[in-house]
């Protein structure tokens, strides 16, 4: 697979035979590893402190810091849950992100298929228009977007968070590129000979071919939606509808903030699942970042 | 065979319907608001170019602009420096540093975490009294008195800058490392044969060949940096960019003007100013980098 090739070339580069052995290089090597370990500690220690403090009582945290866990995890949880039900935020975030990912994946594939397979009037202009709009940052239309939703009566619902995912220019762009190099016209012809309708061809022939690319994009779509803060902050008013990032902001101003242990626990609950998911997907995600940047 | 090409419209129709309604229309609607005074209820009053006149002389906007630059700029230099150093170390044939996969993943981890959680986490860890960071620094003896990280303009900006570096150096490292691994190892072997030292190898081979990647890193980071919002919003006391407006960034100013003070017309103008600034700086960056690359090429011939 492509991902393995990337790794291989890197390994080759590092292991190119040329033996240079002297004590000076060894010292430098030790210094480099020390540097790398220091950077590793810096990258991880805030999360470590977060987890440790989530298990300590407010009093313990105020008195000083510690690398050893405390015993107040359950008390902290009880205090937190009394004021803010973080699992509701979790469920909301999950719901929104899953919907966004599914809609974005399906409709982007549909649009990419339309652009890649058919020759219709105005096709290139529409595609160009899409690319230009792709460059426009999200905040540009924020005020108008808010007013539009006010007009539609969709404020404080998930519609403004989910429905726009149907139009994801970047995913369409990516999938169209992918499709033009993987989908052979002969496949389509064969399906048409068998009497399959165009939509059926899309579902049975094109979509399966696109699945790897859709999956790649889905990871980033999901992460992007999961972490999105500004749009849900503007659109949602009811705390029971808040997504996790908005709930984090809410947590800051709530009574939970008076108990530092509970606050740390709340943050930890929002962070740890992503860290666990990263354990499984890290190679995949990183290789995609690498591949994406080289193509530019 | 009958022509089925018109069916392409059916496939792209859902996209364009949603796109026009939720993406294109709001952009134009926002543009319309820039010419109006609008408090979010009633009808927008047309006031011509007043909002534009206001933004040119608005010291708060200028301040937000400068703050955004300071915070992003310092972070970018630091982040790029670390990423380049790491890339240089990992690509050096003399040392053959192991564990690239592991370090890449660990350095990237902070980037994946929800920014609002990061903001909240550092917000309490930087607390001058009960924050873990001061407690730790006091314990080790690096400082003798707690630092008021988020209560003084300079340290507040520095803190946000350093958090950004912490979040992004891993990403930049991955991207640059990808660029480095795309460079043929023949160059490095030849350099090694010719007795080039690490510094020479890096400045004469790696850097010039990395130019396109560096451009990518610079522009994406710049665009992201100009949109800095979550960290200053959640790390300033009331979300207004405290202390003394030092954390007031352009998007935070936009947000507060619109959704705190109900100045929708002026907020829309800020959005367009921000867009214009982004376009100008991206174009300038792109052009200057591109010209440099051209000059280099000619020299080579």
Tell me the pLDDT tens digit for each residue of B250-286. 999 999 999 999 999 999 999 999 999 999 988 888 8
Exposure string over A170-194, b if 16+ CB within 10 A, otherwise e = ebbbbbbebbeeebeeeebeebeee
| Model confidence at A14: pLDDT above 60 | no
pLDDT of residue B4: 82
In a domain, A270, yes or no: no
In a domain, B40, yes or no: no
- Of the listed ranges A64-68, A105-109, B224-228, the least confidently predicted one is A64-68
- When the pLDDT of each residue in chain B is averaged and rounded to a whole number, the result is 89
The two tokens of residue A70 are: 């405390």
Q: In this complex, which of B25, B109, B254 lies closest to A278 when CB atoms are compared?
A: B109
3-state secondary structure of B44: coil
In a domain, A6, yes or no: yes
pLDDT of residue A116: 92
Interface of B with A in 235-274 (CB under 8 A): 251, 254-255, 258-259, 264, 267-268, 271-272, 274
What spatial distance separates the first Cα and last Cα of chain B, rounded to whole Å?
54
Dist CA B211 CA A206 (whole Å): 37
| Model confidence at B199: pLDDT above 90 | no
Q: What percent of chain A has pLDDT over 90?
A: 53
Q: Each residue of B115-150: pLDDT tens digit?
A: 999 999 999 999 888 888 898 888 888 888 889 999
Q: Which residues contact B244 (CB under 8 A, 6 or more apart)?
A: B153
Q: How many CA atoms lie within 13 A of B95 on its CB side?
A: 23
For residue A8, count CB atoms less than 10 angstroms from its CB and return exposed for 0-12, middle for 13-18, buried for 19 or more: exposed
Q: In 10 A of CB B243, how many CB atoms?
A: 17
- Average pLDDT for A123-143: 88
- Of the two residues A185 and B106, the one the predictor is more confident about is B106
Look at chain B and report how many structural domains it folds into: 1
Nearest CA in chain A to B123: A252
pTM here is 0.87
Residues A182 and A53 in one domain: no
Q: Which domain holds residue A21?
A: 2-71
Q: What percent of chain B has pLDDT over 70?
A: 95
Residues A164 and A238 in one domain: yes
Q: How many CA atoms lie within 13 A of B190 on its CB side?
A: 7
Q: Each residue of B155-166: pLDDT tens digit?
A: 999 999 999 999
- Average pLDDT for B46-63: 94
pLDDT of residue A141: 92
The two tokens of residue A100 are: 């966004």
Q: Where are the beta strands (DSSP E) in chain B?
A: 36-37, 45-46
Place of tokens 């979550």: B230
pLDDT of residue B26: 95
CB contact under 8 A, B103 and A36: yes
- When the pLDDT of each residue in chain A is averaged and rounded to a whole number, the result is 87
CATH number assigned to the domain comprising residue B68: 1.10.3720.10
Backbone angles phi, psi at A126, to 5 degrees: -60, -40
Dist CA A120 CA B4 (whole Å): 9
Look at chain A and report how many structural domains it folds into: 2
Dist CA A158 CA A232 (whole Å): 8
Q: Is A204 on the interface with B (CB under 8 A)?
A: no
CB contact under 8 A, B258 and A18: no
| Model confidence at A148: pLDDT above 80 | yes
Q: Is B230 on the interface with A (CB under 8 A)?
A: yes
- Average pLDDT for B55-84: 95
In a domain, B47, yes or no: no
CA distance B55 to chain A (A): 16
Residues A109 and A52 in one domain: no
3-state secondary structure of B36: strand
pLDDT of residue A5: 45
Dist CA A215 CA A118 (whole Å): 24
Residues A243 and A147 in one domain: yes
In a domain, B4, yes or no: no
Q: In this complex, which of A110, A245, A264 lies closest to B11 when CB atoms are compared?
A: A110
Q: What is the DSSP string of B20-31?
A: IIIIIHHHHHHH
What spatial distance separates the first Cα and last Cα of chain A, rounded to whole Å?
21
Residues A63 and A201 in one domain: no
Collect all residues of chain A within an 8 Å Cβ-Cβ radius of residue B129. Answer: 62
Q: In this complex, which of B22, B96, B103 lies closest to A163 when CB atoms are compared?
A: B22
Residues A153 and A216 in one domain: yes
Dist CA B111 CA B164 (whole Å): 9
Dist CA B148 CA B128 (whole Å): 5
CB contact under 8 A, A271 and B117: yes
Q: Each residue of A24-62: pLDDT tens digit?
A: 788 888 999 999 999 999 999 999 999 999 999 998 988
Q: Is A128 on the interface with B (CB under 8 A)?
A: no
The percent helix, strand, coil of chain A (3-state, each to 5) is 80, 0, 20
Residue B60 confidence class, pLDDT cut points 50, 70, 90: very high
Place of tokens 């017309």: B265
Contact A256, A266 (CB under 8 A): yes
Dist CA A157 CA A173 (whole Å): 29
Q: Each residue of B86-96: pLDDT tens digit?
A: 998 888 777 78
CA distance A258 to chain B (A): 11
Contact A174, A213 (CB under 8 A): yes
Q: What percent of chain A has pLDDT over 70?
A: 91
Place of tokens 């016209």: A185
| Model confidence at A3: pLDDT above 70 | no
Distance of CA A125 to the CA centre of its chain: 30
Residues A118 and A195 in one domain: yes
Residues A102 and A241 in one domain: yes
Residues A139 and A193 in one domain: yes
The DSSP call for residue B227 is T
In a domain, A283, yes or no: no
pLDDT of residue A134: 81
Q: In 10 A of CB B228, how many CB atoms?
A: 23
Angle formed by the axes of helices B100-112 and B59-91, nearest 10°: 160
In a domain, B225, yes or no: yes
CATH number assigned to the domain comprising residue A164: 1.10.3720.10
CA dihedral for B80, B81, B82, B87, sign (positive or negative): positive
From residue A265, give the alpha-carbon distance in Å to each of A70, A87, A177, B31, B238: 12, 12, 44, 43, 22
pLDDT of residue A9: 46
Residues A62 and A91 in one domain: no
In a domain, B205, yes or no: yes
In a domain, B30, yes or no: no
Residue A20 confidence class, pLDDT cut points 50, 70, 90: very low
Q: Each residue of A227-271: pLDDT tens digit?
A: 899 999 999 999 999 999 999 988 888 888 888 999 999 999 988
CA distance A179 to chain B (A): 15
CB contact under 8 A, B93 and A107: no
Dist CA B89 CA B149 (whole Å): 33
| Model confidence at A17: pLDDT above 50 | no
Interface of A with B in 256-285 (CB under 8 A): 260, 263-264, 267, 270-271, 274-275, 278, 282-283, 285
Q: Each residue of B25-54: pLDDT tens digit?
A: 999 999 999 999 998 888 899 998 999 999
In a domain, A259, yes or no: no
Collect all residues of chain A within an 8 Å Cβ-Cβ radius of residue B22. Answer: 145, 148, 160, 163-164, 167
Q: In this complex, which of B24, B96, B192 lies closest to A15 when CB atoms are compared?
A: B96
Q: Which domain holds residue B163?
A: 58-300
What count of CB pairs under 8 Å joins A to B? 307
Q: Which residues pair with B45 in a beta bridge?
A: B37
Q: In 10 A of CB B14, how many CB atoms?
A: 17
Residues A182 and A89 in one domain: yes
Residues A216 and A108 in one domain: yes
């Amino acid at each position: 697979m492509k991902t393995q090739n990337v790794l291989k070339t890197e390994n080759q580069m590092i292991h190119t035979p040329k033996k240079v052995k002297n004590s000076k290089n060894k010292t430098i090597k030790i210094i480099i590893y020390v540097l790398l370990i220091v950077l590793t500690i810096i990258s991880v220690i805030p999360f470590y402190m977060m987890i440790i403090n989530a298990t300590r009582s407010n009093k313990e945290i105020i008195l000083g810091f510690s690398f050893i866990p405390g015993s107040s995890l359950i008390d902290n949880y009880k205090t937190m849950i009394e004021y803010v039900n973080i699992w509701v935020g979790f469920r909301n975030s999950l719901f929104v992100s899953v919907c966004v990912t599914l809609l974005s994946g399906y409709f982007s594939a549909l649009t990419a298929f339309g652009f890649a397979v058919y020759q219709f009037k105005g096709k290139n202009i529409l595609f160009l228009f899409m690319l230009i709009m792709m460059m426009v940052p999200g905040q540009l239309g924020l005020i108008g977007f808010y007013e539009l939703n006010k007009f539609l009566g969709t404020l404080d619902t998930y519609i403004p968070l989910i429905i726009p995912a149907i139009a994801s220019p970047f995913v369409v762009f990516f999938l169209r590129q992918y499709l033009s190099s993987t989908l052979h016209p002969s496949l389509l012809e064969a399906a048409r000979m068998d009497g399959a309708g165009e939509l059926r061809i899309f579902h049975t022939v094109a979509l399966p071919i696109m699945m790897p690319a859709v999956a790649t994009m889905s990871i980033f779509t999901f992460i992007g939606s999961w972490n999105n803060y500004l749009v849900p902050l503007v659109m949602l008013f009811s705390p029971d509808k808040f997504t996790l990032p908005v709930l984090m902001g809410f947590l800051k101003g709530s009574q939970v903030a008076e108990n530092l242990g509970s606050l740390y626990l709340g943050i930890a609950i929002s962070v740890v699942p992503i860290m666990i998911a990263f354990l499984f997907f890290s190679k995949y995600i990183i290789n995609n970042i690498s591949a994406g940047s080289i193509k530019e | 065979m009958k022509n089925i090409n018109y069916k392409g419209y059916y496939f792209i129709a859902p996209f364009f319907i949603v796109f026009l309604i939720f993406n294109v229309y709001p952009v134009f609607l926002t543009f319309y608001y820039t010419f109006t005074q609008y408090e979010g209820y009633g009808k927008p009053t047309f006031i011509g170019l007043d909002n534009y006149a206001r933004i040119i002389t608005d010291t708060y906007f200028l301040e937000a602009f400068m703050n955004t630059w300071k915070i992003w700029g310092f972070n970018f230099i630091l982040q790029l420096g670390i990423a380049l150093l790491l890339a240089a170390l990992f690509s050096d044939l003399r040392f053959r540093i192991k564990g690239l996969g592991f370090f890449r993943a660990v350095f990237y981890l902070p980037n994946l975490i929800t920014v609002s959680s990061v903001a909240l986490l550092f917000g309490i860890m930087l607390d001058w009294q009960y924050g873990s960071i001061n407690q730790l620094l006091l314990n080790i003896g690096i400082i003798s008195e707690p630092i008021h990280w988020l209560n003084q303009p300079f340290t507040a900006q520095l803190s946000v800058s350093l958090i950004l570096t912490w979040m992004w150096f891993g990403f930049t490292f991955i991207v640059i490392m990808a660029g480095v691994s795309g460079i043929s190892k023949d160059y490095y072997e030849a350099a090694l044969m010719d007795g080039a030292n690490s510094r020479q190898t890096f400045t004469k081979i790696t850097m010039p060949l990395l130019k396109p990647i560096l451009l990518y890193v610079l522009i994406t980071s710049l665009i992201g940096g100009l949109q800095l919002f979550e960290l200053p919003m959640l790390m300033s006391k009331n979300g207004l960019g405290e202390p003394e407006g030092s954390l007031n960034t352009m998007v935070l100013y936009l947000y507060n003007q619109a959704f705190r003070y109900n100045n929708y017309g002026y907020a829309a103008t800020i959005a367009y100013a921000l867009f214009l600034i982004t376009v100008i700086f991206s174009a300038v960056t792109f052009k200057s980098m591109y010209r440099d690359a051209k000059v280099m090429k000619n020299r080579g011939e």
